[in-house]
Amino acid sequence: MSMNSTSAQFVTSGRMGAYEPIHQMSMWGETFKSNGNLSAPAPIIVEEDVKLNDQSEDTSNGILGPSERYYQEVTTKPADKVQRRLAQNREAARKSRLRKKAYVQQLETSRLKLIQLEQELERARKQGLYVGGGGLDANPLGVSGTANSGIAAFEMEYGHWVEEQNRLICELRTALHAHISDVELRMLVDSGMSHYFDLFRMKATAAKADVFYVMSGMWKTSAERFFLWIGGFRPSELLKVLYDTNIIIDVLGPHLEPLTDQQLLDVYNLRQSCQQAEDALSQGMEKLQQTLAETVAAGQLGEGSYIPQMGTAMEKLEALVSFLNQADHLRQETLQQMSRILTTRQAARGLLAMGEYFQRLWALSSLWATRPREPA
Amino acid sequence: MQHAIPYRTWVPGWTAGEPRPPANVSGEEPIAGAGAVRAMVLENAVVVFGRRGCCMCHVLKRLLLGHGVNPPVFQVDEDGEAAVAEELSKVNTSNHVKKGGGIDINGNESSNKVQFPVVFVGGKVFGGLERVMATHISGELVPILKEAGALWL
């Protein structure tokens, strides 16, 4: 008989629910042991004793199962007292079940939260954020609580995304040093590109949950946030990195493949177009800031009432989601155009360079966060 | 040589018997009335329609200006929005042979429903900011603009 299993959580409360007879008897015994009333080893004897001392007992201890009812008939207890006792037991049992249900639900929720926090911690450590300090200061679980399961989900997904990204970069690096076919390399390039597109999709979904969160780049490392532009990297900056360091100059690699004149022209044009598109979006954002400021400031400032302004301002904020989507769209189009201009091998090198560039930013963030500081 | 007619002073074919724009024009840009929409689309190589105060229209305009195109940008009032959208959709339909079909913003066959902001090039619907951005990056935009007579180079 498992004396401890079912009653474990109820020992402290001192109450018992009416379960199957076996459990009743085991918990009965437990209660008596903890109460120190009787130390009778055989449960049946204990029950019999309790029935005799019925009036002095707490009603919750009066568990009557089929075996006890038999004894009831034998003894001379009045029927209505028995009925009342039965009803009280049922009530107590019902309440116990409800409490247990609530408790279990609480446990489940806490467990989920714990898993989420652990994953976030893992990811943060991987990226080198100073855990326990300022790195997680915008923990969405802490700040907004249950208001944003969308953001919590995004954080988890992004953690996985980073892991997958590291894996893809490794694979690319290995593939470029080995002698794999162009077909296989093309598949890797496509995977790499798709991975970025996955991120843009994730961001679009998260933006619907909380556009400010995505725009602020709180989910990125600190060094990345320094370069932030409309919730992500600046496509023109990235092109500049590739152009200056890798595609053009990397002639020392095992596969000598400099860009053709046409390719050079196309890359130049892409840099120009990208810059123009960025400027256009930036100017649009400035206009949005301006109109939002005007909307918020409209009417008499200082009177203390501002409900109408809030309504209009809320409408303006919807535009933020559009801007984020358009910026990500620009990032995607730029990547795709780059992939059209370059050969498979060049594109693979480009993706590797890009991936490693971000890894270096992550490392930089980590180094910075853990640098030795002067004692206060 | 640039086709640069400042949109503020340029008046579409109002004088050709088309209804005048509504009197409640408070901003600098003319408000598009449903009746005049068709004329605007047909008389301009490139024209942009957007909601009043739309910041994306600003982005569109900047992008096109970068190519040397200065299109009129017509702002649509909330009240007139449905009517203008309807009218624009009709313009869209009349340019396509297929009945009931048409090319929507994303280049897909679908209903002719127009979403703001929308750009018309060469009298036909071209798309929203997304399509303009995509063709801008891929390099397809300039030939399209040239073909529509918006650019002379």
Complex ipTM: 0.73
Q: How confident is the model over B63-86, as pLDDT tens digits?
A: 999 999 999 998 888 887 888 888
Identify whether B126 is part of a domain.
Answer: yes
Identify whether B17 is part of a domain.
Answer: no
Question: What are B's interface residues with A at a Cβ cutoff of 8 A?
Answer: 53-56, 58-60, 62-63, 66, 129-130, 133-134, 136-139
Instruction: State the pTM of this model.
Output: 0.65
- What one-letter code names the amino acid at B42? L
Q: Are A284 and B56 in contact (CB < 8 Å)? A: yes
Identify whether B18 is part of a domain.
Answer: no
**Are the C-beta atoms of A259 and A252 separated by less than 8 Å?**
no
Residues of B within 8 A of A288 (CB-CB) are 55
Q: Are A277 and B63 in contact (CB < 8 Å)? A: yes
Comparing CA positions, the residue from B125, B149, B100, B138 lying closest to residue A270 is B138
Q: Is A151 on the interface with B (CB under 8 A)?
A: no
Give the per-residue pLDDT at A65. Answer: 52
Identify whether B29 is part of a domain.
Answer: no
Give the per-residue pLDDT at A16. Answer: 44
Does the pLDDT value for residue A67 go beyond 70? no
Residues of B within 8 A of A262 (CB-CB) are none
Mean pLDDT estimate for chain A: 77
Identify whether B72 is part of a domain.
Answer: yes
Interatomic CA distance for residues A360 and A245, integer angstroms? 14
Q: Is A337 on the interface with B (CB under 8 A)?
A: yes
Identify whether B24 is part of a domain.
Answer: no
Q: Residue B47: which domain range?
A: 34-92+116-148
Q: How much of chain A, in percent, has pLDDT values that exceed 90?
A: 42
CA quadruple A268, B62, A315, B126: dihedral positive or negative?
Answer: negative
Mean pLDDT over A246-254 rounds to: 50
Phi, psi dihedral angles at A17 (to 5 degrees): -100, 155
Q: What is the DSSP string of B97-147?
A: SSSS--B-TTS-B------SSEEEETTEEEE-HHHHHHHHHHT-HHHHHHH
Please classify residue A54 by burial: count the beta carbons closer than 10 Å to its beta carbon, then call 0-12 exposed, 13-18 middle and 19+ buried: middle
Q: Which residue of B has its CA nearest to A289?
A: B55
Please classify residue A362 by burial: count the beta carbons closer than 10 Å to its beta carbon, then call 0-12 exposed, 13-18 middle and 19+ buried: buried
Q: How confident is the model over B40-69, as pLDDT tens digits?
A: 888 889 999 998 888 999 999 999 999 999
Q: Is A330 on the interface with B (CB under 8 A)?
A: yes
CATH code at position B85: 3.40.30.10
Number of domains within chain B: 1
Q: How confident is the model over B95-127, as pLDDT tens digits?
A: 544 444 444 455 554 455 788 899 999 988 899
Q: Which token pair is B40?
A: 């605007």
Q: How confident is the model over A126-172, as pLDDT tens digits?
A: 665 444 333 444 444 444 443 578 899 999 999 999 999 999 999 99
CA–CA min distance A147, chain B (Å): 29
CA quadruple A124, A128, A131, A137: dihedral positive or negative?
Answer: negative
Contacts of A318 (CB under 8 A, 6+ apart): none
Q: Is A361 on the interface with B (CB under 8 A)?
A: no
Question: What angle, 0 to 180 degrees and rounded to 10, lies between the N-to-C axes of helices A149-177 and A344-369?
Answer: 120
Identify whether B98 is part of a domain.
Answer: no
Q: Which residue of B has its CA nearest to A266?
A: B139
Number of C-alpha atoms within 13 angstroms, CB side, residue B81?
12
Identify whether B133 is part of a domain.
Answer: yes
